[in-house]
Amino acid sequence: MKTRIMGFFGAVNQSCFGGDSYSYLCRSSVSSFCFNSSRTANQLDSLYVSDDDNNQALDFPGGKVTFSSQMRFISETGENRVPCYRVLDDNGEPIIGSNYEQLTKELAVKMYGNMVTLQMMDTIFYEAQRQGRISFYVTSLGEEAINIASAAALTPDDVVMPQYREPGVLLWRGFTLQEFANQCFGNKADYGKGRQMPIHYGSNKLNYFTVSSPIATQLPQAVGAAYSLKMDKKDACVVTYIGDGGTSEGDFHAALNFAAVMEAPVVFICRNNGWAISTHISEQFRSDGIVVKGQAYGIRSIRIDGNDALAVYCAIHAAREMAVSEQRPILVECLTYRVGHHSTSDDSTKYRPIEEIEYWKSARNPVNRYRKWVERNGWWSDEEDRELRSNVRKELLQVIQLAEKTDKHPVTELFADVYDAPPLNLQEQEKQLRETITRHPKDYPSSVPV
């Protein structure tokens, strides 16, 4: 088979990215074709073979280390970039010889339905924010496959510690569109009592920890939670998500080392979409993406096509099985692209070309690619698609209207649920807030009870 490459901000072996269309972003070439990332690992292993005739070794903590009479520095980069696991090509056709988990019709159709629902929810909620009906929103456009396919590969007992671009995981687990709307509008039905920014979802019932804005703080927390599952001998793991920008945080490195040393059953899923808000990955790190960082910490890792729902499902399914059965951490790097702006506070056209955005939105759309595969199996039709989209749109408009009309929590909720009896400083803050509202009633939203 002919070797092809695709420029994911540098060339990536197209065991993941097949197709001539990728010449658009191609920047350099590679010379090997491989579905298994172990090849690169073997190349690294060869650097540690001793060429000393005496074959002497140092019995050092962690294992024996052989000596070498040659002064040899390990290269900062591998000969080739780590290849990327892929199942479906751009047209939704399974790649010949690809190894993947077979999906039932029921599961496959449900995954597609959830991907469409997530896509439409993002579009309509984004428009609601632009209309001034909610204060903030973050979309997952372009990353629907990572959200839904990874969630489908887990069990309900697995604990999820998200970043802020994984609402699809919660959607898959049963969080209703009404519950999403209630949180974004911060009304009385919002489980967070209106204290959080929109999109900071959470559900104790669905084992989905509440989204926290500080970047990467969930990673070491995930390791601790995973170790507790290990101590309790639970048949479950913790799955945590992070973006490529978050890997520049110290918490990312602390978490990987913590997980490796404690052999915690945790799956780290990194959405490498090339941009940390406006910071390009070339300004984030010089390594071959995120996947190579796993080996440095002693963690089994894989790079996958994050826009291929089948590849994501299969890789996360396998990663979860290894994490639970072998009691070990796994790192999964998903190559993808954020088609939408970072948030409603961002205009990504200021730092990346519109042509780049449109290319990924059309040629590498994960929803369209997966739909083609489902249709080829005879499991989906244009009529069913139109009906699905019409029903989802109607429901979304209804839940927004209801959430908007639902009463807000009173001001007192700002100061509750932390202390049994509010301390003096909180009592003083509440007093000052009420005085401010009395002085400036027009500047205070009338929908919030005083």
* 64 within a domain of the structure (yes/no): no
Residues 149, 308: Cα–Cα separation, whole Å: 9
308 and 417 belong to one structural domain:
no
Max CA pair span of the chain: 87
The dihedral built from the CA positions of residue 217, 267, 271 and 296, taken in this order, carries a sign that is positive
- Pick the residue with more confidence: 104 or 56? 104
Residue 191 clears pLDDT 70, i.e. is over it? yes
Stretch 191-215: mean pLDDT: 96
Q: Looking at the structure, do residues 202 and 338 belong to the same domain, yes or no? A: yes
**Is there a single domain that holds both residue 255 and residue 382?**
yes
Do 243 and 337 form a contact (C-beta atoms < 8 A)? Answer: no
Token representation of residue 11: 């060339």
- How far apart (Å, rounded) are the C-alpha atoms in residues 380 and 113? 10
Q: Lowest-confidence range among 42-46, 118-122, 287-291?
A: 42-46
- 68 occurs within a structural domain: no
- Asked if residue 271 lies in contact with residue 306, where contact means CB atoms within 8 angstroms, the answer is yes
Residue 82 lies in a domain: no
In a domain? residue 259: yes
- Alpha-carbon distance of 189 to 292, in angstroms, equals 44
CATH of the domain at 257: 3.40.50.970
Is residue 342 assigned to a domain? yes
Instruction: Find out whether 12 and 84 touch, Cβ atoms under 8 Å.
Output: yes
Q: Is residue 323 part of a domain?
A: yes
Report the phi/psi class of residue 125: left, alpha or beta, with left for phi > 0 and alpha for psi in -120 to 50: alpha
| 162 shares its domain with 212 | yes
pTM confidence score: 0.88
Whether residues 377 and 399 share a domain: the answer is: yes
The end-to-end CA distance of the chain, in Å, is: 69
CA 120 to chain centre: 18
Domains of the chain: total: 2
Asked if the model's pLDDT at residue 174 lies above 80, the reply is yes
Domain match, 349 and 253 both: yes
Q: Same domain for 320 and 420?
A: no
Q: Please compute the mean of the pLDDT values over residues 309-335 and round it to a whole number.
A: 98
Q: In this structure, are 206 and 335 located in the same domain?
A: yes
Distance CA 105, CA 377 (A): 9
Is residue 383 in a domain?
yes
- For residue 425, give its domain range: 411-440
Region 312-333: what's the mean pLDDT? 98
Between 441 and 38, the more confident residue is 441
**Chain center to CA of 361:** 18
Same domain, 330 and 417: no
Active site positions, annotated: 127, 213, 342-343
Instruction: Kindly state whether residue 7 falls inside one of the protein's structural domains.
Output: no
Q: Are residues 375 and 262 in the same domain?
A: yes
- Same domain, residue pair 335 and 294: yes
Claim to verify: residue 325 and residue 347 sit in the same structural domain: yes
Q: Compute the mean pLDDT over every residue in the chain, rounded to the nearest whole number.
A: 90
